[in-house]
Structure 1
């Protein structure tokens, strides 16, 4: 594990809030030169601490007004059934995340849909027909607060 100092933590907080910041702006905000900031960002990336940068899209602005978290319990749990389920569920574009979890359910899915009728269509025609699907529990997202990471 790489030792991180206060400047590294400050850089990570800045980039977590806005991954588009240039090294010059990061350096200005943490009192480093652009080359020094760039070297630190490169070192954090090479160490795997910065795993990538991503674009967050606003699902509601794109016409997807409903987000549902599904708990899925598989009827059978062999290695093959898990792999078949993961492969099949990953092919459904409305499924944003697939998390294999320990607990009451085997998987937790984040599903977006245009409205509840659209979600019902995705659930009935796409998800419930997948291999090994047993019980499913749905929780509709009412609101979401973005919280800072562990830094």
Structure 2
């Protein structure tokens, strides 16, 4: 990866929908040349994909929380991880080191919905919840 590739990645990180023509102007390449470089960056695994960033508050999700889960000894971590990361409310589920086994980021329309998720995941372990006040 050279300096041009790094600039292309920086521009796409800021706006994944940026046109190859605009990127090309900034790196002194044609749009097709930028497209070829982006394809190579994808093929080599530097670019894993593109995502959509939503305004969850406008969509009615007013409660956001981090939930650390300390897995019960009788539960298997892999099963809990695979199940929980598939729940609709869960935006992210990471296996972590330390006393807790999982760190979950989830969005909810209300605190009642948060309580429902906590009840569902309690079969796997003991949750420790932190509601996000501002980000």
TM-score (norm 1): 0.82
Q: Residues 90 and 22 of structure 1: is their aligned pair in 2 closer, same or farther, counting only changes over 3 Å?
A: same
**Stretches of structure 2 lacking an aligned partner (at least 5 in a row):** none
Is residue 121 of structure 2 the alignment partner of residue 127 of structure 1? yes
Which residue pairs with 2:45 in the alignment? Answer: 48
- What's the C-alpha RMSD, in Å, of the aligned pairs? 1.6
> Quick one: distance in 2 between partners of 1:62 and 1:77?
38
In 2, the alpha carbon distance for the partners of 1:22 and 1:50 equals 16
- Equivalent in 113, 127, 133 of residue 136 of structure 1: 127
How far apart in 1 are the matches of 2:51 and 2:74?
A: 33
Runs of 4+ in 1 over 6 A off after TM superposition: none
Which of 27, 31, 34 is the equivalent residue of 1:30? 27
Supply the distance in 2 between the matched residues of 1:52 and 1:97 (Cα, whole angstroms).
16
In structure 1, C-alpha distance between the alignment counterparts of 2:77 and 2:18, rounded to whole Å: 39
Q: Which runs of 5+ in 1 are unaligned?
A: 145-151
